Amino acid sequence: MKYDVLIIGAGPGGIFSAYELMKLRPELKVAVLETGNPLHKRNCPIDGKKIKSCIGCKPCSIMNGFGGAGAFSDGKYNITNQFGGTLYEYIGKQEALDLMHYVDQINLAYGGEGTKLYSTANTAIKKQCLQSGLHLLDASVRHLGTDVNYIVLENLYNLLKDKVEFHFNTPAAKVEKAENGYRVITEKGDTFEGEKCIISAGRSGSKWMETVCKDLKIPTKSNRVDIGVRVELPAAVFSHLTDELYESKIVYRTEKYGDLVRTFCMNPKGAVVNENTNGIVTVNGHSYEDPAKQTNNTNFALLVAKHFSEPFKDSNGYGESIARLSNMLGGGVIVQRFGDLIRGRRSTPDRIRESFTTPTLMATPGDLSLVIPKRILDGIIEMIYALDQVAPGTANDDTLLYGVEVKFYNMEVSLDENLQTIHPGLFVIGDCSGITHSLSHASASGVHVARYLSENA
Ligand SMILES: Cc1cc2nc3c(=O)[nH]c(=O)nc-3n(C[C@H](O)[C@H](O)[C@H](O)COP(=O)(O)OP(=O)(O)OC[C@H]3O[C@@H](n4cnc5c(N)ncnc54)[C@H](O)[C@@H]3O)c2cc1C
């Protein structure tokens, strides 16, 4: 099976590559190979009744399939160079922002119209934060919500399905150099050949990506891992921030160690969810645009970045071990009241039941101090008290902490300004490149490569 362009992975990176290629060069023969299912067949079996926690489906419907890890996400497209990746270091700041705005326009055209764009420009909250040692990062954020995000993906799939060949349930096992491009051998043993190949395997494809880089001798660098907890509290506590900004990315430098702790992925009136990465259950969150599906709680992560280089290099391995420990003690994700944590006692089912904050995720009541390293936990506690000054109530006893939340980053693949590897015609985009970690950056990287290919394929 021979193609002009092969795309591995149908997450935002792969979808936007395919979209832009079809728009600019509709005559090209393009195939997308995807481990997971088409969008309508992606169903996580956790229903809170019969199946209460992750049972490790293969492929995982949350992480794999059309729409990638982003399909059931909150659909927050942050338009900024301040976080979400370092794409701008490769393609320039203005180009990166222009591409993120372009992606936003496509999302609006395919079902996202009417959704709100929030912005930190001119907000008085910035000054309030600074007075408490908190730094609010600049961004515009389009909140599609899980429901509208799904509709946009459905519309993009309907647009692309007759122009691009999608091969679902088709994990790529090996990428080899061929006479005229690249040969991809799937786990089933089928062979696809493409003159050009774009790899967009996301975070779930991180381990596989490592083998591709090893086999093809593509240089890589170790990346950081972010470790922390997901905080859940009554939506009213953060409403003055979330009503104006929707998501506030706030960074705090701890007094004790000088570490940076940051908020991440804020979900007003949202729900806390499990995330399964390569069999390890961690925590995440999302929220719906539809008021009928909203909860009374807001959740967000508090994360500390750790980067190891010498002699220990495996930052992800460190994060995995901490997540495994929480899985070992809690059988999955652990939940603890903030009041119990600072009193040095575990949360019990009774204490959680009596809590004024009702958990949105069924997690095991326990003690996070037995799992999270002291330095990281001290930083998180310090930041909760700092946030309490701008959002009084954050440090209430009944604030819930779920652990662990781990953000794994792929090792950074050595790429040029076109996101091309040392092998001409082989591109790596999105989260598996290690240079993006968000919907907007991953999508923008896909458009960038497609535009380059449309002139050079
Ligand atoms: C619960 C959750 C909520 C999130 N919320 C947000 C948010 O609100 N805003 C935000 O900016 N980001 C969010 N993210 C992160 C965001 O989803 C990712 O940054 C983004 O999806 C990355 O896009 P990608 O295309 O690089 O990779 P992915 O979306 O991970 O897609 C990669 C695809 O490649 C496939 N694949 C992997 N290996 C292979 C292989 N060997 N062969 C074939 N296919 C393969 C996978 O099945 C997957 O479908 C969230 C993530 C999760 C899990």
As given in the structure block, the two tokens for residue 159 are: 């647009």
64 lines ligand 1 (CB under 6 A): yes
Q: Is the CB of 17 under 6 A from ligand 1?
A: no
Residue with tokens 């309907």: 158
User: Ligand 1: which of 33, 35, 37, 264 to mutate, most ligand atoms within 8 Å of CB?
Assistant: 35
* Mutation pick for ligand 1 pocket among 146, 247, 431 (CB with most ligand atoms within 8 Å): 431
Which tens digits make up the pLDDT trace of 158-187?
A: 999 999 999 999 999 999 999 999 999 999
* Close Cβ partners of 354 (under 8 Å, ≥ 6 residues apart): none
Q: Measured from the CB, is residue 285 less than 6 Å from ligand 1?
A: no
- What pLDDT, on the 0 to 100 scale, is given for residue 47? 77
Would the CB of 10 count as within 6 Å of ligand 1?
Answer: yes
Q: What is the pLDDT of residues 195-237, one digit of tens each?
A: 999 999 998 898 899 999 999 999 998 888 999 999 999 999 9
| Window from 53-67, 256-270, 417-431 with minimum mean pLDDT | 53-67
Model pLDDT, residue 264:
93
Please name the residue whose Cα sits nearest to atom 27 of ligand 1.
202
Ligand 1 close to Cβ of residue 14 (< 6 A): yes
CB 395 within 8 A of CB 384: yes
Mind listing the pLDDT tens digit for each residue in 33-80? 999 999 999 998 887 778 877 788 889 988 999 999 979 888 999 999
| pLDDT, mean of residues 134-139 | 94
CB contact at 8 A, 368 and 337: no
8 A C-beta contact, residue 170 and residue 186: yes
- Whole-Å CA distances, 385 to 230, 370, 394: 15, 21, 7
The mean pLDDT of 14-38, rounded to a whole number, is: 98
Q: Is the CB of 405 under 6 A from ligand 1?
A: no
CA of 248 to the centre of ligand 1 (A): 22
| CB-based burial label for 342 (10 Å; 0-12, 13-18, 19+) | middle
